[in-house]
Amino acid sequence: MSEEKSPRLYKNQQTADISEAQIAVHWQEEDYFAPPTRFIAQANLTDASIFERFSLDKFPDYYKEFGDLLDWYKYWEKTLDTSNAPFWRWFVGGELNACHNCVDRHLSKHRNNTAIHFVPEPEHETVQHITYQELFVRVNEFAALLRDSCGLKAGDRVTLHMPMVAELPITMLACARLGVIHSQVFSGFSGKACGDRVSDSESRVLITMDAYYRAGKLLDHKEKADIAVTEAAKDGHKVDKVLIWQRYPGKYSSPAKLVEGRDIIVNDLLKQHRGERVDPAHMPAEAALFLMYTSGTTGRPKGCQHSIGGYLAYVTWTSKYIQDIHPEDVYWCMADIGWITGHSYIVYGPLALGASSVVYEGVPTYPDAGRPWRIAEELGVNIFHTSPTAIRALRRDGPDEPTKYSHHFKHMTTVGEPIEPEVWKWYYNVVGKTEAVIVDTWWQTENGGFLCSTVPAIHQMKPGSAGPAIPGIHPVIYDDEGKELPAGSGRAGNICIRNPWPGIFQTIWKDPDRFVKQYYERYCKNPKSKDWRDWPYLAGDGAVQAADGYYRILGRIDDVINVAGHRLGTKEIESAALLVPEVVEAAVVPVADPIKGKVPDLYVSLKLGLQAAQEITDKISAAVVFEIGAIARPHQIIIVPDMPKTRSGKIMRRVLAAISNHLDPGDVSTLANPEVVDKIRDLVK
């Protein structure tokens, strides 16, 4: 179906996303699935009147219920302060500590519960079961090391570039204990990408690990720290100390040399801090807990700053009522802690509730697609959380694998991308054995926690739809003119949230103007207003709302590509390509992929007189991997004689996206160089 014929197609200006919208829009309306009665009988939230208690006229007082899930040293005076809109301040006057809430407060009742099950990728290595008691000891010792051996104090920033190991949550919680702001960079990102984030956050200390397992190989990771320090130095930023955890305590597993005076082996130094205890810092609710860098519309990733009180309250509440986590549950979120999902729903949410959280080191399909189900069976996992990309891969590689294992999930989550109804049904029938409720949760790095999802014991499930908003969240879909699109209109628009919520990020680190501009300016009713009603939050996704109130998310309206559920900026990839001297123009478009959802195709044109050559393609690919990481490696690099351009010289990404996705590019006669379209199409074939 062409764009024009589809009444529900979302038409945006930056049409790089058109294929995403098309794919989602063409899904049929699906039948409902009812939550299993066994699930409802034990669920934390079954009272549908919650939506009345959380209606907009009771905002913001209903968020008291969120804050009350935490322990406070000092109770807050004001739930929400809007005096510096849109820089919302939650639980003002309150004091708490995130580490105390995730560790210390569980010691009286759950001291011997497992807090973290660490599952190494090599299957012959022993799973570590770290109790809350042991977590308490290890976090305290490491906090003492950070404070006394590194001189870190509340408000300092520290960059972590750590793989999926138990030491990562230990490191985060030790920072939180001191009030130190952590900034964890996804371990798959390159040393250069890490260095950019080190200098932007002005971290004097970088914490890493020597090596980790990925797809059966022990990867050297320490070398990335050396690159990060060198790259940060180019920005004029000096790193004083690199702390290196050992993947195998007592043994250094990297060929990279240690730099004298800078590099410290954590496992050695920890011996000096054995048995030490550090009192949790009494932190203002409004202090920052962490930064999480994410891709946006411009080249440089932005550091989303999340608060201690609001963020922790939000992830704790949503973990309890949307994930349905009870302290006796064994919960496994297969995301990486290097992304927001891992921060909120591997570390902070589940641990704040005293549950057991699984940390798995490796890839889900290693050594085979039965691995996740073996882990689930062995550990008694009863809540499972992953992304459509992982589900698609597990389904492709082992469609019957789940039937071979005796795992039983009561609850399953999908997050990060739209999930195709067919894939949803495999998840439900085969992985979940029709026993589990499924929530499709829509949210973003900026949001702290879920925005849209069914409430698992209250709502029916509808494959492919994220569901209505969760209690307390009041979305609205605006068209480009700012008109509200009602439920059931069949039209797509820009999804916004009318009200602030405690999990919303506080600002972009060192860039408050961009914060206002990117998220609030578009539909702001009055820039001088201190009334939250005038400041709808622009999520940056296209969406349609069905007559039943369920939202279907169609994908980004800006220059962001969701590759396998990981956010990458097209501009970041293009900037990397432009570092290759032969390249004069670069354009990245998303291509639909059966497993990863989206992958980036990179179109480049070369300096006059240069011919396409494999050598140049290799250089471009290497540049992208160096600048960002292997995750951004283009699916195809297409060297074109010229970019399709408007008469004013703008690259028509829409045309390139159509070619890459084998769709009709539509009318190209108004281009400055329409003849190039066929030439490019031949190259892509």
Q: Residue 136 in contact with residue 128, Cβ under 8 Å? A: no
413 binds ligand WTA (CB under 6 A): no
Q: In angstroms, what CA-CA distances link 402 with 399, 415, 463, 666?
A: 8, 20, 20, 44
- Which three-class secondary structure state does DSSP give residue 554? strand
3-state SS assignment for residue 206? strand
Stretch that binds ligand WTA, among 145-153, 484-492, 554-562, 646-654 (CB under 6 A): 554-562
Q: Which is nearer to ligand WTA, 66 or 443 (CB)?
A: 443
Using CB under 6 A as the binding rule, whether residue 639 contacts ligand WTA is answered as no
Per-residue tokens: 427: 């998840």
SS3 498: coil
CA distances from 439 to 44, 158, 294 (A): 15, 34, 24
Q: Is 572 in the site for ligand WTA (CB under 6 A)?
A: no
Q: Which stretch binds ligand WTA (CB under 6 A): 158-166, 205-213, 224-232, 339-347?
A: 339-347
Q: Which of residues 447-486 bind ligand WTA (CB under 6 A)?
A: 466
Q: d(Cα 422, Cα 25) in Å, to the nearest integer?
A: 15
Q: How far apart are CA 436 and CA 434, in angstroms?
A: 6
Q: Which of 168, 181, 270, 340 binds ligand WTA (CB under 6 A)?
A: 340
In angstroms, give the least distance from the CB of 27 to ligand WTA: 12
**At its nearest, how many Å lie between ligand WTA and the CB of residue 533?**
24
Q: Which of 341, 365, 386, 660 binds ligand WTA (CB under 6 A)?
A: 341
What's the closest the beta carbon of residue 39 comes to ligand WTA, in angstroms?
A: 20
Q: Does 556 bind ligand WTA (CB under 6 A)?
A: yes
How many chain residues bind ligand WTA (CB under 6 A)? 22
Nearest to 220 by CA among 182, 265, 257, 193: 257
Is the Cβ of residue 72 or residue 519 nearer to ligand WTA in the bound state?
519
What strand order describes the sheet that includes 537-545?
Answer: 475-478, 493-497, 537-545, 551-556
Residue 605 to residues 437, 461, 559, 648, 658: CA-CA distances in angstroms? 49, 47, 20, 18, 18
Q: How far is the CB of 112 from ligand WTA (least distance, A)?
A: 33
Assess 440 for contact with ligand WTA (CB under 6 A): yes
Q: Which of 89, 567, 571, 596 is in the footprint of ligand WTA by CB under 6 A?
A: 567
Q: How far is the CB of 78 from ligand WTA (least distance, A)?
A: 29
Nearest residue to ligand WTA, using CB?
445
Residue 541 binding ligand WTA, by CB under 6 A: yes
Tokens 């006669």, residue?
669
At residue 578, the 3 state secondary structure works out as helix
Site for ligand WTA in 276-315 (CB under 6 A): 294
Nearer of residues 440 and 572 to ligand WTA, judged by Cβ: 440
Beta-bridge partner residues of 568:
561
Closest Cα to residue 565, out of 392, 314, 400, 398? Answer: 392
Select the span of 69-77, 150-158, 274-282, 338-346 touching ligand WTA (CB under 6 A). 338-346
- Residue pair 159/194 in contact (Cβ under 8 Å)? The answer is yes
8 Å CB contact between 451 and 473: yes
Using CB under 6 A as the binding rule, whether residue 553 contacts ligand WTA is answered as: yes
| 369, 415, 640, 680: residue in contact with ligand WTA (rule CB under 6 A) | 415
User: What are the residues whose beta carbons fall under 8 Å from the beta carbon of 422, sequence distance 6 or more?
Assistant: none
Query: Is 324 one of the binding residues for ligand WTA (CB under 6 A)?
Result: no
263 makes contact with ligand WTA (CB under 6 A): no
In order, the DSSP letters of 512-530 are HHHHHHHHTTTT-S-TT--
Nearer to ligand WTA, 76 or 550 (CB): 550
User: With binding defined as CB under 6 A, does residue 417 bind ligand WTA?
Assistant: yes
Binding site for ligand WTA (CB under 6 A): 294, 339-341, 415-418, 440-445, 466, 540-541, 553, 555-556, 562, 567
